[in-house]
């Protein structure tokens, strides 16, 4: 089983739609969580951190459910510019106290006019 | 404020050769992590450098090695290249200081093709 699993999509949605992605992680000792966005042939860029209480940044809302070990990302009022691959990322503290990011394979979103 | 930079942007090598990729972290960052991203996959963690030492390592063979310099820049070396090493190699920098200690910032990557 992969450490971080995501539905690869693609999710094809019209402009203005609301779309949600889920991600599950296998290691219950995972400490912190993120969503990154990656455009085609570009580097991943941090979209938002995910906090236990849930957090919102404009049209984007992230939720964390530690008991069920899943993370979600909700995008409201989708824009054409939201088309990208969304990577779920879990940061696990290692024995030495350092951290390593574990990435899911990404969920591809295509927003259509 | 310069972000993370990597060189070269593209590289073509032959099986069996060796390659060195370079990374300069974002200003103020002291930790560098390297990732390999194959087509259609998420980045896979190779290793992390802090204080010029390898601190963490992912599931990659010893053919993958690295170095961090006193100015925090880093190199990734891959020996005895295989066709399967063809990928985008990403460098990410971060800092232990402050509240946002876990956030990593990626460079544009080096696209390596092994023929």
Residue of B23, B36, B43 to mutate when probing chain A, most A C-beta within 10 A: B43
CA-nearest residue of chain A to B110?
A: A43
pLDDT per residue over A42-78, tens digit each? 999 999 989 888 899 999 999 999 999 999 999 999 9
A20 in Cβ contact with A13 (< 8 Å): no
* Interface residue B51 vs chain A (CB under 8 A): no
pLDDT at A94 over 90: no
A15 in Cβ contact with A111 (< 8 Å): yes
pLDDT value at residue A95: 59
* Interface residue B55 vs chain A (CB under 8 A): yes
B91 in Cβ contact with B7 (< 8 Å): no
Residue of A31, A42, A87, A100 to mutate when probing chain B, most B C-beta within 10 A: A100
Shortest Cα–Cα distance, A16 to chain B (Å): 27
Which residues of chain B fall short of a pLDDT of 70? Answer: 1, 96-102
Shortest Cα–Cα distance, B42 to chain A (Å): 4
DSSP B17-82: --EEEEEEPPTT--EEEEEEE-TTS--EEEEEEETTEEEEE-S--TTEEEEE-TTS-EEEEE-S--
* Interface residue B112 vs chain A (CB under 8 A): no
User: Which chain B residues are closer than 8 Å to A104 by Cβ?
Assistant: 42
More confident residue, A27 or B36: B36
More confident residue, B88 or A26: B88
3-state secondary structure of A90: strand
A2 in Cβ contact with A100 (< 8 Å): no
Chain B residues 4-43 with a CB less than 8 Å from chain A: 33, 35, 40-43
B4 in Cβ contact with B90 (< 8 Å): no
- Residues from A in contact with B at Cβ < 8 Å: 4, 31-32, 34, 42-46, 49, 87, 91, 94, 96, 98-106
Closest CA to A36 of A83, A87, A81, A85: A87
Q: Taking all residues of chain A, what is their mean pLDDT, rounded to a whole number?
A: 90
pLDDT value at residue B95: 83
As a whole-number percent, the residues of chain A with pLDDT over 70 amount to 93
Task: Grade residue A106 by pLDDT with cuts at 50, 70 and 90.
Answer: very high
pLDDT value at residue B98: 41
- Which residues have a Cβ under 8 Å from the Cβ of B86 and sit 6 or more positions away? B38, B112, B113, B114
- Which residues have a Cβ under 8 Å from the Cβ of A9 and sit 6 or more positions away? A107, A108, A109
First and final CA of chain A: distance in angstroms? 37
pLDDT value at residue B44: 92
B54 in Cβ contact with B66 (< 8 Å): yes
Shortest Cα–Cα distance, B14 to chain A (Å): 23
A37 in Cβ contact with A86 (< 8 Å): yes
pLDDT value at residue A35: 95
Mark A75-110 as b/e (b = at least 16 C-beta within 10 Å): beebeeebbbbbbbbbbbeeeeeebbbbbbbbbbbe
């Amino acid at each position: 089983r992969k450490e971080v699993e995501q539905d690869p999509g693609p999710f094809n949605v019209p402009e203005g739609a609301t779309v949600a992605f889920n991600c599950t992680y296998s290691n219950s000792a995972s400490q912190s969580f993120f969503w990154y966005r990656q455009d085609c042939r570009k580097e991943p860029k941090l979209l938002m951190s995910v906090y236990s209480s849930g957090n919102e940044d404009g049209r984007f809302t992230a939720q964390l459910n530690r008991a069920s070990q899943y993370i979600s990302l909700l995008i409201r009022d989708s824009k054409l510019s939201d088309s990208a691959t969304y990577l779920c990322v879990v940061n696990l503290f290692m024995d030495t106290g350092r951290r390593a990011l574990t990435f899911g394979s990404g969920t591809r979103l295509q927003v259509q006019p | 404020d310069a972000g993370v930079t990597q060189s070269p942007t593209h590289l073509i090598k032959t099986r069996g050769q060796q390659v060195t990729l370079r990374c300069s972290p974002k200003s103020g960052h002291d930790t560098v992590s390297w990732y390999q991203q194959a087509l259609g996959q998420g980045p896979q963690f190779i290793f992390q450098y802090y204080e010029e030492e390898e601190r963490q390592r992912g599931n990659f063979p010893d053919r993958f090695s690295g170095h961090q310099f006193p100015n925090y820049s880093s190199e990734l070396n891959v020996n005895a290249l295989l066709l399967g090493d063809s990928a985008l190699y990403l460098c990410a920098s971060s800092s232990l200081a402050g509240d946002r200690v876990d956030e990593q910032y990626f460079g544009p990557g080096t696209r390596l093709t092994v023929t």
